[in-house]
Amino acid sequence: MQCPKCRGTMRTYNRNGVQIEQCDNCRGVFLDYGELEHLAQMEARYAAPPPPPQPGYAAPPAPGYGAPAWGSSHHGHHKKKSWAHMIFST
């Protein structure tokens, strides 16, 4: 596969079930349809604080619990940087 930007060789990496294509030449990262959303969901689960304990209830929290909705404000909240920051930072 060739890079659509510089025509370099693309390599495919599998990261937690998400296939990421990266150019060996320009280092551009390309995702197929739905993969950005999958990465965003994984990031939200990673960054979400654990739910407060409830007496007498030991069921695990639902996936994505506590994650902000797209477009919501993050007033005063500082997230720790993650692996996704390395991929999408400029």
Q: Say yes or no to pLDDT of 10 above 70.
A: yes
The domains of the chain are located at: 1-47
Is 0.85 topped by the overall pTM? no
Q: How far apart are CA 58 and CA 53, in angstroms?
A: 8
Beta strands in 1-90 (DSSP E): 10-15, 18-23, 29-31
* pLDDT tens digits, one per residue of 19-69: 889 999 999 988 888 888 888 888 888 888 887 877 776 566 666 666 555
SS3 state of residue 47: helix
In the chain, alpha helices (H): 35-47, 83-88
What pLDDT band is residue 90 in, cutting at 50, 70 and 90? very low
CATH topology of domain 1-47: Ubiquitin-like (UB roll) (3.10.20)
Q: Say yes or no to pLDDT of 2 above 60.
A: yes
